[in-house]
A and B are shown apart, each in its own frame.
Chain A
Amino acid sequence: MIYIIDHNDSFTQNVVHQFSNFDDVQCDNYNKIDQKKLTKADVIVFSPGPGSPKNYTITSSIYKKYKGKKKIIGICLGFQQILYCEKGKIVEQKKIYHGYQSQIKVTSNNSLFKKNRNFNVGRYHSLKLKEPFAAKNFEITMRCAISNVAMAIENNKEKVYGFQFHPESFLTENGNLLIKKILSA
């Protein structure tokens, strides 16, 4: 079962439907977490959402508790949440991407995805990861083709994954394939 933690976002149900292609999905609001579902889940997904990771302490504590024990996937805010818990700095960026379709590329040899592949994705973020960023077992595997901003992280050892863009958006090409690959990793 996949347990999606919703951060009051207006895109969360798209995430739910996307993951429902692959497994049974349960979804609750971050301040109404069902401990039984959380314990039962094979995969925990942090949804997108407004604001900044520091506002969501409950999600941070879930991450710390289950990192390495369950597969964890973060999308947009969820991606930043993981980075924030790994001591990454999340900052406002000059150019803001809300409803933006842009091209990103796979930049790492160690990614589940093929290096140098380019594809179009939907983006909804005003914040970004400040670099340099380093955390054990983590690698930035995708970047914006123009600005080079971090777009995906993979930790294939502890099975932690994150996307700054929205795989569930209609603006993202092959979003389902991305999720399928991560889920079967």
Chain B
Amino acid sequence: MIKKNYLEDLNNTNKPFIIYKSGKGFDLYKDFSQKIILTNQNIEKFINKSIKLKSKNKETDLFIGFFGYEILNNLIGVKIKKQKVLKFPKGIFYKPETKIKFSKELNYKPLKIIKSNKVFKINLNNRSYEKIFNKFKKRIKAGETYQIKICTKYKNSSQIDALDFFCRLVKSNMAPEAFMIKDRNYSIISCSPENLITKKGNFITTKPIAGTLKKSKNFNKQKALAFFKKNIKETKEHNMIVDMERSDLSKICKPGTVKILKKKTVEEYKDLYHYVSLIGGKLKDKVSSLDIVKAMMPGGSVIGCPKISTLNLLNNQEKENRNIYTGSFGYIKFNGDMRFNIIIRSILNYQNQSEISVASGVVIDSNAKHEFNENYIKAKALMDLYK
């Protein structure tokens, strides 16, 4: 039994903790005995070493944390030119000593109300967005990219109660990959719906989402599926991501084992329908954790396709560091099993600065105004938490 006011007490101690969505409830990790701040120098060693530690099959025999976007680029040899940076770490992992399972929802009532700032500044206005959009369309016509995701950022300065934000977020937008990290000088809150890696033993799956539809009264799951199937633009984007993820998995899986386990299905969330596929394969015999991370990250569905040339186009365009956005959060167990998501629909609060990044895709038949608004809708669900 978890005692009443557990979360209130925990939050009050000011000790770092992490919450990650589990099947029906949430897992809470705390009492961190190690904190590893990732750099380009230590990341490879960290990933490969983490599984050489002796596992006693304890539930806390794992490292949990995140890889930022930049370090994942660098890991696969993609360089990022000078950008405006927050000096936020490129990745952080923790070794927990305690794991607590919440079988249902989280009950938390803030002891004091922190007033957060409701006003956000956007880093790209409609016009500059459209400019970039048209530039990328030319690159699509020239065949340099087939699909590319432009990122916009909403920022403000705010003090926030991360746990309160997270509890309210999962009430309004529950997502299978939701998580939060609270540490002394930063917090991350996310309702990511997208699993990038689930590895158990020698089997690995990825579950890309391409296609989102807002719920309305006249829609049900079947109608949503019919909508996606009829919508040529959504179908093409989805097809591309499926073939790309098959290829990413094929780097590390035995030939002939990569299969589409669920092809273009609809998943229903509180406010949205997602168009989802599940792809899996059997890992080759001598694949390391590092090979897996390099093959799959950064997750293709939030970048565009093909990955390398699209990353280069994006990185030449973007003036500000993406930080955590389109990185991955999750854990590596000492036995080599992994679970990682793609960090989207997230808030990073660092030194009392909040940033919310969102992106939507440009394919040849997208419309700049529509995508710009789509970005706003995605950000709004998070901005609404500020009051």
Contacts and interface: CB of A to CB of B under 8 A. Distances in A.
Interface of A: 8-14, 16-17, 20-21, 25, 49-52, 77, 92, 96, 98-101, 122, 124-127, 166, 168-171
For this complex, into which size category does the number of interface residues on chain B fall? 35 or more
A50 B304 CA distance: 12
Nearest to A77: B143
A100 B364 CA distance: 12
A13 B239 contact: no
A125 B240 CA distance: 12
A16 B18 CA distance: 40
Nearest to B238: A99
Given A13-B248, A98-B363, A99-B237, A170 B307 contact: no
Contacts of B363: 98-99
B71 interface: no
Nearest to B303: A10
Interface stretch (B151-159, B169-177, B185-193, B253-261): B253-261
B16 interface: no
Nearest to B236: A99
A51 B239 contact: no
A127 B141 CA distance: 8
B239 A10 contact: no
A92 B250 contact: no
A20 B143 contact: no
B310 to A, nearest CB: 8
Q: Give the dominant DSSP class at B's interface.
A: helix
A21 B243 contact: no
Interface of B: 140-147, 235-240, 242-244, 246-251, 255-256, 258, 260, 263, 300, 305-310, 363-364
A96 B309 contact: no
A126 B143 contact: yes
Contacts, number: 107
Nearest to A15: B247
A11 B247 contact: yes
Contacts of B146: 50, 98-99, 124, 126
Contact of B242 (A8, A17, A170): A170
A98 to B, nearest CB: 4
B140 A96 contact: yes
Nearest to B306: A10
A48 B268 CA distance: 35
Given A9-B306, A51-B142, A125-B143, A14 B364 contact: no
Given A92-B142, A126-B140, A100 B247 contact: no
B363 to A, nearest CB: 6
Given A10-B305, A166-B243, A52 B255 contact: no
What 8 A-B pairs come out closest when comparing CB atoms? Answer: A99-B236, A13-B250, A20-B255, A10-B306, A99-B239, A99-B240, A98-B146, A13-B247
Contacts of B142: 51-52, 92, 126-127
A54 B171 CA distance: 54
A47 to B, nearest CB: 10
A132 B287 CA distance: 48
B19 to A, nearest CB: 33
B243 A122 contact: yes
Contact of A21 (B256, B306, B308): B256
Contacts of B255: 16-17, 20-21, 25
Contact of A17 (B236, B237, B250): B250
A133 to B, nearest CB: 19
Contacts of A126: 140-143, 146, 364
Given A10-B300, A168-B243, A170-B239, 7 more contacts: A10-B244, A13-B250, A21-B256, A92-B142, A92-B143, A170-B243, A171-B243
B143 A52 contact: yes
A57 to B, nearest CB: 17
